[in-house]
Amino acid sequence: MLLNQFLILAAAMFSLGIYGLLVRRNIVLILLSVELMLAAVNINLIAFESVLRSPDATGQVFAIFVITVAAAEVGIGLAIVLMIFRNRKSANVDELHLMRW
Partner 1 sequence: MSLTEWISEPVNWVFLVVGALVLLSAFRVVTAKNVVHAALFLVAALAGTAVLFLMLSAEFVAWVLVLVYIGAVIVLFLFGIMITRAPTGRDVGLDVEKRLWAGTLSLATFVLLSWASIDAFGSTRIEEVGEATSTEVLGLALLGRFVIPFEVVSFVLLAALIGGITIARRDLTPLEEEQRSSV
Binding residues vs partner 1 (CB under 8 A): 1-9, 11-20, 22-29, 31-33, 35-36, 39, 42-43, 46-47, 49-51, 55-58, 60-61, 63-65, 67-76, 78-83, 85-86, 90-92
Q: For residues 75 and 96, which CB has a smaller minimum distance to partner 1 in the complex?
A: 75
Q: Would you call 24 helix, strand, or coil by DSSP?
A: coil
Least distance in Å: CB of 4 to partner 1? 6
Selection from 7, 6, 8, 37 nearest residue 21 by Cα: 37
Say what angle helices 3-23 and 27-52 make with each other, to 10 degrees. Answer: 170
Residues in the chain: 101
Least distance in Å: CB of 61 to partner 1? 5
Q: For residues 82 and 96, which CB has a smaller minimum distance to partner 1 in the complex?
A: 82
Q: For residues 1 and 99, which CB has a smaller minimum distance to partner 1 in the complex?
A: 1
Sign of the CA dihedral with 23 first, then 95, 37, and 18 last: positive
